Amino acid sequence: MSNLKLKPETPHFNDFEVTEQLKRICKSDEFLRKKLLCKFLSYIVEQTLSGNENILKGYTIAIEVFEKGDEFDSQLDSLVRIHAGRLRRTLKSYYEEAGKNDLLIIQIPKGAYIPVFKKNEKVALEKDYLSEGLVSKSTEFLKPSIAILPFKNLTENPADDYISFGFVEELSVELTNYEDLIVYDCVPWSNSLYIQTDFNEFIKNKNIRFAIDGSIYKVGDQLTILVKLTDNYRKNQIWAHRYKNEITSINFVEILESITQNIASVVGSEFGIILQNLNEENKRRKQNSNTTFEAVLKFYHYVAVVSPDTGEQAFIALSEALKNNSSGIAMACLGVMHSDSYVFDEPISDESYEIFGNLAEKAILLEPNSYLVNTILTVKHFIYNERERFNTQFDKCFKMGPDWSLNSGTLAFHFMCFGDWERGKEIMDNVIKNNFKYPCYFHAATFLYHYRLKEYENAEIEASKIILLDLFWTPMLKLAVLGQLKRKDKIDEQISELKRLKPDFEKKASYLISRFVKEIELVDHVIEGIRKAGLKI
């Protein structure tokens, strides 16, 4: 065997690991009595590891494996091709049964005889967590649980302990605002308890996936807070940040609130680090368990990256989850999928309109205290043009959660489109300021805010931030402002894209725009811009 490293496309395994996997395969029941197939597989694997994959042709394999003479003609004799087919089928059978828990997968793609070495992603994930006995169930690691550990006081002045305790209490409150998180406040009441407490044991017993801790020190009026987020199962730090502020007795509380709000948003929001990490793991798993949480993760991914592809994934996951569990949250999220089907004028938009209304009303009965469900019910009143019910539900939501959360952004978006521009814009600006990630479609509302005031340059800037993949609203809004600005150099591209995505737009323009824009004057104003761009509406 050669000591050469594998090529870049197979970075996860060295020669020894591949060789051991080859031995394991050849000793299995599938291969034990098929000596010729085992010889075939061993030859092509060994030549690949030695860097000689360029010689793996039908002619060479016939001579070296099947001991044919120099006169062998691979074009006329299908011996190698037939055995390659048998080898692929036998490998497939092996990995479906005896090798289903193997970490390394050896495959032979059709059309060639060069093997590839892949990692079994499902097994890799489970081994990462289960091999160390850290979780009792294979799905535990998908739970969005977080422990808030004490922040160390590094000022060497015990009198400043109150800063650490106060900061952690404030952080606990802010993280609890995100209903997807399971928050454990582990802060003891004194430093002596901090020294005695075994937080690692607590985290292990509770199966807590993430932990946040850090240190605080103050020199004069300079306050520095170092924050770290750790993945307890992978045992690695996944985020850290240092906050520095000048403090006075007047601004001290305000600064702590601002820092904890920022941390909570970065770590715990719908597009924060925790759910982002769990969503990536969920996507890599070969088999999902169709839990409500996994479905909601896909819903958040869809909201972050609105496209037909992410929409289909979320729709299927939510529908499957509801077969096993009558979850108000999953029901409300599925309602949003139907709402978007209506707004984007999909073929079943009329049916989706009715389904959305029913799902939103049923969801609130199941989850009356959920901020997300209440927000989606507010959206339902918007879609159904129920202005009085919208206003009542809007006020209820703002009493439930902080005015900087992403749910607040959704509320502000619809509030603005209902015509309450100034208050809605103030809320939206606060949401965008305090969230490091948020849905790009929020900028559709800020676009309309500037557009209606004929601030077309600002509207164009907002339009550039809207990226809705393969959805006609993006070129439609851009076309309106380009028409007003007479930007002929950019108009043709947007017209072409709009016609590609919505061939019948010119016939239905007013009807489609009014699904989101509730002011008739603004609908006409948008159409005016599109006409100036050259479309005949």
Nearest to 382 by CA among 428, 422, 336: 336
The overall pTM is greater than 0.75: no
pLDDT for 333 equals 93
Whether 130 shows a pLDDT value over 70: the answer reads: no
Whether 133 shows a pLDDT value over 60: the answer reads: no
| Length of the chain in terms of residues written | 537
Whether 536 shows a pLDDT value over 60: the answer reads: yes
Residue pointed to by tokens 């490998």:
91
3 state SS of 223 = strand
Per DSSP bridges, beta strands 182-185 and 210-219 are: unpaired
pLDDT for 187 equals 58
User: In this predicted model, what pLDDT tens digit does every residue of 465-512 receive, in sequence order?
Assistant: 998 777 899 999 999 999 999 988 889 999 999 999 999 999 999 999
Backbone Cα Rg of the chain:
29
Whether 461 shows a pLDDT value over 90: the answer reads: yes
Nearest to 426 by CA among 439, 436, 415: 415
pLDDT for 331 equals 94
- Written as one letter, the residue type at 159 is A
**What percent of the chain stands above pLDDT 70?**
89
CB–CB of 449/415 below 8 Å? Answer: no
Instruction: Return the structure tokens found at 422.
Output: 């100034």
How many whole angstroms from its chain centre is CA 371?
20
CB–CB of 361/380 below 8 Å? Answer: yes
CB–CB of 184/209 below 8 Å? Answer: no
Whether 135 shows a pLDDT value over 50: the answer reads: no
CB–CB of 456/450 below 8 Å? Answer: yes
CB–CB of 290/318 below 8 Å? Answer: no
Per DSSP bridges, beta strands 182-185 and 145-153 are: parallel
User: In this predicted model, what pLDDT tens digit does every residue of 388-446 receive, in sequence order?
Assistant: 999 999 999 988 877 777 788 999 999 999 999 999 999 999 888 877 678 889 999 99
Alpha carbon separation from 428 to 112, 126, 262, 433 (Å, rounded): 56, 41, 16, 8
Specify which residues 104 forms β-bridges with.
119
User: In this predicted model, what pLDDT tens digit does every residue of 311-350 receive, in sequence order?
Assistant: 888 899 899 889 878 889 999 999 999 999 998 898 888 8
Options 3.90.660.10, 3.40.50.10610, 3.40.50.300, 1.20.1250.20; CATH for 140-266 is 3.40.50.10610
pLDDT band for 195, please (50, 70, 90 cuts).
very low
User: In this predicted model, what pLDDT tens digit does every residue of 362-397 receive, in sequence order?
Assistant: 999 998 988 899 999 999 999 999 999 999 999 999
Average pLDDT, the chain: 84
3 state SS of 56 = coil
Q: What is the DSSP letter of 76?
A: T
CATH 1.25.40 fits 288-391, yes or no: yes
pLDDT for 249 equals 64
Distance CA 339, CA 508 (A): 18
Give the distance between the most distant pair of CA atoms in the chain: 93
Lowest-confidence pick of 84-98, 380-394, 508-522: 84-98
